[in-house]
Structure formats: C-alpha cells, structure tokens
Amino acid sequence: MTTLAQRVLISSRHRWRTLAPLPRQFIVNLLIALVVLVTLQLFQHQPLLARQQSAGLDWLMRMTANTPAPADATPYLFIDLDTPSWVALGEPHLVPAEVLARLLEQLVETRANEVILDIDLSRRSLRDLAPLAAVMARWQASGDAPPLTLMRTLTPAPTPAGLGTPRATVLEDVSAGAAWAAPFFTLDPDRRVRRWRLVEPVCQGGQAQLLPSVQLVALARQQDALASLQAQLDRWPGGDCEGETLPALPRLQLGEQSVQLYLPGQSGTRGLGERILFTLPDAPASGWAHQPLASGGSRPLVIRLPVSALLAQTERLPDHLVYKRTVIIGASHVESGDVHATPLGSMAGPMVLINALHSLERFGQIRPPSFWTTALITSLLVLVLSFCFVRLPPLWANLGTLAGIVLLVIPLSLLYFRSGVWLNFLLPLLAVEVYRWIHRFRQYRRP
C-alpha cells in the first residue's frame, strides 16, 4: 500500500511527463540558471569575480560621470596650487604660509558652506607658520567665518594593530574652533583609489581612538551633528594600543543619516560600503556639469581656480564664487605627490576628496540590492534566452540574448546606480553565460 508521499511523487512524475515540451524546457532552464546564480552569489567575493565586479562598477562610473547633480547637492570651489602657480612662486618645497594666509583672508567673511585646507601643517615651526597663525586667530575670533577643517596626519604605525599617532602642529592653540580630520584613502591592488576610510584608528595617550575623515566631518556638519559625531566616536572601546586586534567599529547616527564604520579592508560587504562613487572627473574638456537652481538658472557643480589668480587680489572672494560652496584649498602641481589613479583616470588629491564628499552626501554608503532582485532579473534573462534558443536559429538566439541584456540589465544597473545601489549586472550575465554552455553541452549529449 503506497504512502501519501509516494502517491504525490508518482502524480508529480506523471504531470511532469505529460507537460508540454516548451514549458518543461523553460522550467529546467530556469532551475539551472538559478542554481548557477546562487553558486556565483556565494563565490562573488573570490578574486576573479571580485575583479570583474570592480571593473563593472568602474564602467558604470565612467558612464555616469559629469552628469548634472540635484539642486540641493553641495557645490564645490577648488582653489588649486597648480603647476603654473607653483612655478610662479619659485617652486617651493612647502606651500608658503604667506600664501595660505592670503587665501584664507579672502574667505574669512564669506558665506562659504565650509573651508577645507588640504595641506599638511605638521612638522613646521611657529616662526614658519606665523602669518597663517595670525589669520587662524582672526578666523577663530570672527563670528561669521565659515566652518574650517584642517588635516591631521599620522606618524608611522609602530603598534601591533598598525595604529599611527596623530602629529601635533604649532597651530593647535589658534585653531580651537576648527575640526581636525584624516585625509586618507585606500589603494587597491592595481594602485587605484576606489575606497575611502571614514575613520582612522589611531593611538593617542596609550589608547586606541578614532579620528574622523574629512568627508565624515562634512556630513556631520550638514546634519548639525558634529558634537554628536565626536561623542559617538569617543564611546568606542578601543582599548590598549598594544593589542593585536581592535573592536568592531560602531554604526553612527548623524541626524537622519546612518553610517556603518568598518576597519580598513574589513567591510561587511567586502569593501562595497567603502566604495567611493566617482562622478566628477579631474578636468573634463567640456567643463563640469551644471546643477539647476531652485530660483531658476544653473551653476557649475565644481569651480576650479588657480592660486595665482587669487594672489593678485586682496579683497574677499565674491558670493558668486563661494556662496554655499564647500571650498577646498589644495595642490595638484607636478611635485605635490598628490596625484592618484582612479576609475575616472588620473586625479589630484583634492579632487579625490571632492568626489568622496559628493559621494557620501548624495549616495551615502553604496549597497547591493536584495538577492531576490538579482534572481528576478536573472530569471527574466534566462526565459528570454530559453525562448530564443527554442524558437530561433543560433545566430539570432545570440543576438536576442544580447538585446535582452542591453535593454534590461544595463538600464536597470544605471537606474539603481543613481540611487547609490550597486546592481551587479555581471552576476546575471555570468549566470546566463554559464547557462548557455550548459545548454550547448545538453544539446551535444542529446541523441
């Protein structure tokens, strides 16, 4: 006497055998493709697939580079010590303090959103930095000066956990109102900058502490949460500097935005949450894209001014250049040592910083879509592919598959990308490609 399970199994087999060939073929193809997709999803962080994912994301960045930004996006002014300006100053080894002082003097009473001095001021004497110290004191005393961010560099990392020590500067006493931040990024194995470091674990007073990055400080200021940022970082139980491992980093809540921190290279999504979405090239031939204004008209998202053009004047910068812009003062000259390879080509360090600021503000931390979204897209592709191979000759079947990819996957990837979501179109494409080989093998084995 058969059991209920046996009867169900016999009935299922009978229904499967009596099913029409085309629906049965679709079901088999769909199951094969989903098995392939799950396998690729499990192994997507292996070196070969990870490199392909990185290449796909780089391609999307190049496709969407220099496109208009929303009206509420923060615009930028890059005051650039470029090669002609550097030569005109006599090719100094260090940026003269007089030059920095004159630049900051023109910004003290402006309505800039923020001023970031992307220059290392450590290991310089008070006598050397005296002109800059005088402007800093005036900046601190002014009630109308825009927020100021200064760079904090580190000594080499001698501790077992690789913690550097923040370098002090002689400007500490006259910069109490400024924020100190880390300017560091991570190099990938191909020597390209693709990832930020939102915080930098450092050793101070024998204890491990967290130094925020420039872009994290800027985000906290936008959310009016700079004090909250520091309080949350101070609560991290870093422990003794001599420890070999560090505690997991916290999730920050900055106003309405949540930010998950990761130790460099230890992101929970294998670096995806640390990726910078580069959208602003270093020097586009047609100029930077304009963003619309709520009052009508438009303005360029980035303005780049050489230092030499500003040293010829002494009055403050006009509002049409600085109003509600984040101002970055940095260097791109040939001996600055601050030029990096990025997905958008060679780029000056301050432009890398601008891309990081824009990426965190506009997109937040990049995130993957749900597995079911990827599975649905793969299923649609496989159904199209199955139909093509059943109904069309091989040449037209391949062309139909290519059309499905171009018309479905790539537009969806671009659409998700504009929202800070990385739809890894390579996974469904690889799943379809593996399916095609399986289909050919089955056709070859079929008598």
Q: Cα separation of 217 and 211, whole Å?
A: 10
Pairing of strands 302-306, 290-292: unpaired
Angle 207-208-210 from CA coordinates, rounded to 5°: 130
Give me the average pLDDT of each 10-residue run along the chain (447 residues). Answer: 55 52 62 65 65 79 86 93 94 93 91 94 90 89 87 82 86 85 89 92 89 94 92 90 83 88 63 84 89 84 94 85 94 91 94 94 80 70 66 65 66 65 62 63 59
Cβ–Cβ contacts within 10 Å for residue 355, how many?
28
Q: Are residues 206 and 290 in the same domain?
A: yes
pLDDT of res. 69:
86
pLDDT of res. 294:
77
How many domains does the structure of the chain reveal? 2
Q: Are residues 99 and 118 in the same domain?
A: yes
Question: What is the pTM (predicted TM-score) of this model?
Answer: 0.82
Q: Which of 328, 362, 396 is the last residue of a domain?
A: 362
Q: Are residues 352 and 373 in the same domain?
A: no
- Quickly list DSSP for 324-367: TPEEEEEE-STTSS-EEEETTEEEEHHHHHHHHHHHHHHT-S-B
Q: Are residues 285 and 434 in the same domain?
A: no
pLDDT of res. 9:
55
Closest-CA residue to 129 (of 168, 159, 171) = 171
pLDDT of res. 427:
60
Q: Are residues 373 and 350 in the same domain?
A: no
Closest-CA residue to 257 (of 227, 223, 232) = 223
Range of 431's domain?
22-61+368-445
Q: Are residues 93 and 57 in the same domain?
A: no
Distances 77 to 184, 286, 288, 329 between C-alpha atoms, Å: 21, 17, 12, 8
> Is 308 part of a structural domain of the chain?
yes
Residue type, 433: E
Q: Are residues 178 and 265 in the same domain?
A: yes
Cβ–Cβ contacts within 10 Å for residue 44, how many?
18
Q: Which of 344, 362, 380 is the last residue of a domain?
A: 362
pLDDT of res. 402:
64
Q: Supply the DSSP symbol for 408.
A: I
pLDDT of res. 61:
86
Q: Which of 362, 377, 410 is the last residue of a domain?
A: 362
pLDDT of res. 378:
66
pLDDT of res. 268:
45
Instruction: Dig out the tokens for 228 from the structure.
Output: 């909250």
